[in-house]
Amino acid sequence: MAASVDAVVAGAGGFIGGHLVKSLLDEGKTVRAVDIKPLDEWYQVHGDTENLQRDLSDLANCREAVGDGAGEVYNLACNMGGMGFIENNKALCMLSVLPSTHMLMASKDAEVERFFYSSSACVYAGYKQTEADIAPLKEEDAYPADAEDGYGWEKLFSERMCRHFREDFGLQTRIARYHNIYGPEGTWDGGREKAPAATCRKIALAALNGEKTVEIWGDGEQTRSFTYIDDCVHGTKMFTRGDVTEPLNLGSSEMTTINNLYYLVADIAGIDIELKHVEGALGVRGRNSDNTLIQKYYGWEPSISLRDGMSKLYAWVYDEVKAKYKL
């Protein structure tokens, strides 16, 4: 059995996981980082961690990951991507219930001090998100349940698992409902990218190729809020170490249409664009985060503006696009 560490990050090879591991290391924590992907496919690899390639759908691997215990276990491991991915891979998304459940079991048996589960705004009821000009989603709006098919239902089920492991076994579980996390060092092409990175890729290609026409899925009037990675990491650690046991929103309350997201990035890039609306996966019509409870309990909410965050993401994606396509 592996020795105990300050923190275990499951899904450490992913976008959020890589940033979280770095933040924990900056605090001086000892970290075990685990992901199903080979190390050369991780978005960030940190040399001063114990890095393991393991499939956490297997309980034995979860026990190895948790080892003799940890102060904090962060479970970010799941199959996910942008709307184009989750609408076309529902079974794969549902299979994330295996690492979700087995990490809980391993953490309980190892008497882990705190267990964090990364849930999603996709747990929220679809009938609450039918209009673009939506009222911000409160935590209570997850019930009566009508979650995003596949991905959202797995997240909602695993939230309940966390609750019952806390109530029945005393495992101190904490849950964040992430709202569209974005930033550098993540997926920007290939089909799993989310709207912010996809937008930056399309605008970067337009800028580099001298084009004006940019494709966008749907009419572009669907609304979202987007949360910069630094705010996400801060909130994740705050929730894990805090006393609130119920799921809380972790999201920006700055809502925008997808059309305006494209125009914002074009302005950052210093180019004029014309949007060409095409068919594609859209998800719900509108979604925004109600931050009443996070402000009540922690006196804080994500505050990095969309322009500031997208400026950082665009600069990174631009360099990635230029290097990949040799433009």
Q: Could you give the residue numbers annotated as active site?
A: 151
How far is residue 201 CA from its own chain's centroid?
19
Best CA proximity match to 248, nearest among 171, 88, 141, 114: 141
Please enumerate, as own/partner, the contacts of 270-276 that have beta carbons within 8 Å and a separation of 24 or more.
Answer: 270/207, 271/203, 271/206, 271/207, 271/212, 272/212, 273/203, 273/206, 273/212, 273/213, 273/214, 274/212, 274/213, 274/214, 275/213, 275/214, 275/215, 275/216, 275/220, 276/213, 276/214, 276/215, 276/216
Best CA proximity match to 166, nearest among 94, 70, 243, 61: 243
Tokens of 203: 């605008």
**H or E element at residue 217:** strand 213-217
Q: DSSP letter string over 298-313?
A: HS------HHHHHHHH
- Whether residue 301 contacts residue 253, with contact meaning beta carbons closer than 8 Å, is answered with yes
- Whether residue 281 contacts residue 83, with contact meaning beta carbons closer than 8 Å, is answered with yes
What burial class does residue 213 get, using C-beta atoms within 10 Å of its C-beta: 0-12 exposed, 13-18 middle, 19+ buried? exposed
